[in-house]
Amino acid sequence: QDITPELVELGRTLFFDPILSATNDRSCASCHNPELAFTDGQARSVALGRTGTLTRNAPTLVNAALARRFFHDMRAMRISDVIAHVVTNEHEFNSRLIDVVGRLRTSDEYTALFARAFRVPNATAIDAPNIGIAISAYLTTLVAFNSRIDRYLRGEHVGITDAERRGFDLFMGKAACATCHFPPTFAGYVPPAFTESESEIIGVPLRPAIAHAVADPDPGRAGGIVRENAIIYRGSFKTPTVRNIALTAPYFHNGAYDRLEDVVDLYVRGGGAGIGLDVPYQTLPFTKLELTERDQRDLVAFMEALTDTVGLTRRPTHLPRSSVPALNTRVVGGLY
């Protein structure tokens, strides 16, 4: 299926439409707000019906389409699998794909949008695979490599501060950040082919304590796909991008850290093992970083300069109407 403007626009509409959820009040944008680089500002996302929270923090979707594995525990191999997981999860959309198809087919406007995007002349274009294809097509457009740092490195007439320059040198060198957060994505997409997504064991605690820290029991990758249920993957989580990190707090899979400065401090101390947790398979390439307070401030300055969501935040102006009146109370992006 070619990625056409019609397919992308259909995917954008579906992404912001709560018709995908059983309650018709939650959309993909509920946990992936464009203004927050497609995160939600919560430690853990709000569950369907406001009945508590999900188990993990919502990751950014900017450049996510470049990955080869998805979710913090890397359990999904394709974006379409991610969509199916979310739609059917009882705490997220609590729906069935066949029911979503049925609701979409009550809309003549959606029927026309699918027919145009998939070049099929009737409602049969609305099916579960095509829903995934359309949303996936939209996600492939959420790509950003145009921060001030990018433009400076390309030789454009854009300046960066001395602190940002020093932070870049530290990130790539002494601080060893780039041993896991590989440029140009600054995520765990491994060069030179960028066809592998890495995970790491950092030993992130339940809260940002230094004394009397408490380990997070989340099994991470060991609780993902069955063949990776191994001790070497326990507590291992997909290495996220640090692009747009100024917009995506709280941090880590559990949203334990509100401040980027405290995240840097955890790494400086040597991760979970460095604050007294038992992390026998921790994968940090050092036990402690010898960074000054200025070094740490410079690292933060550099990472915050990697902000760029220009051209990615446009929402649909309206949602397609349905022949079922109860479905026409939906709002763009969902209620919560």
Q: What is the pLDDT of residue 149?
A: 98
DSSP structure string for 210-237: STT--B----BGGGSSGGG-SGGGTTEE
Give, as one character, the DSSP assignment of residue 177: G
- Given a contact cutoff of 8 angstroms between Cβ atoms, the answer to whether 248 and 37 are in contact is yes
Which pTM value belongs to this model? Answer: 0.95
Orientation of helix 5-15 relative to helix 128-139, angle to 10°: 100
The per-residue pLDDT for 121 is 82
- 206-243: b (≥16 Cβ within 10 Å) or e: eebeeeebeebebebbbbbeeebeeeebbbbbbbbbbb
Q: What is the pLDDT of residue 122?
A: 82
Report the distance separating Cα 255 and Cα 238, nearest Å.
14
Closest CA to 58 of 69, 79, 42: 42
Please, how many CA atoms are within 13 Å of residue 202, restricted to the half-sphere of its CB?
A: 23
Q: What is the DSSP string of 280-319?
A: TT---S-S-----HHHHHHHHHHHHTT---TT-----S--
List, for residues 48-88, the tens digit of each pLDDT value.
Answer: 999 999 999 999 999 999 999 999 999 999 998 999 999 99
| Distances 145 to 54, 148, 169 between C-alpha atoms, Å | 30, 9, 19
Q: Within a 10 A sphere around the Cβ of 171, how many other Cβ atoms?
A: 21
Q: Do residues 197 and 64 lie in contact, with contact meaning Cβ atoms separated by under 8 Å?
A: no
One digit per residue, pLDDT tens: the chain, 336 residues?
899 999 999 999 999 999 999 999 999 999 999 999 999 999 999 999 999 999 999 999 999 999 999 999 999 999 989 999 999 999 999 999 999 999 999 999 999 999 999 999 888 999 999 999 999 999 999 999 999 999 999 999 999 999 999 999 999 999 999 999 999 999 999 999 998 999 999 999 999 999 999 999 999 999 999 999 999 999 999 999 999 999 999 999 999 999 999 999 999 999 999 999 999 999 998 888 999 999 999 999 999 999 999 999 999 999 999 999 999 999 999 999
CA distance 100 to 113: 16
Alpha-carbon torsion angle 66, 68, 73, 75, nearest 10: 130
Identity of the amino acid at 242: V
Q: Give 180's DSSP letter.
A: T
- pLDDT for the residue 285: 82
Residue 90, token pair as written in the block? 């009882």
- Amino acid identity of residue 183, one-letter, is P
pLDDT of residue 286: 81
DSSP label at 195? -
Residue with tokens 């935040």: 313
pLDDT of residue 287: 85
Give bridge partners of residue 46 from the DSSP assignment: 53
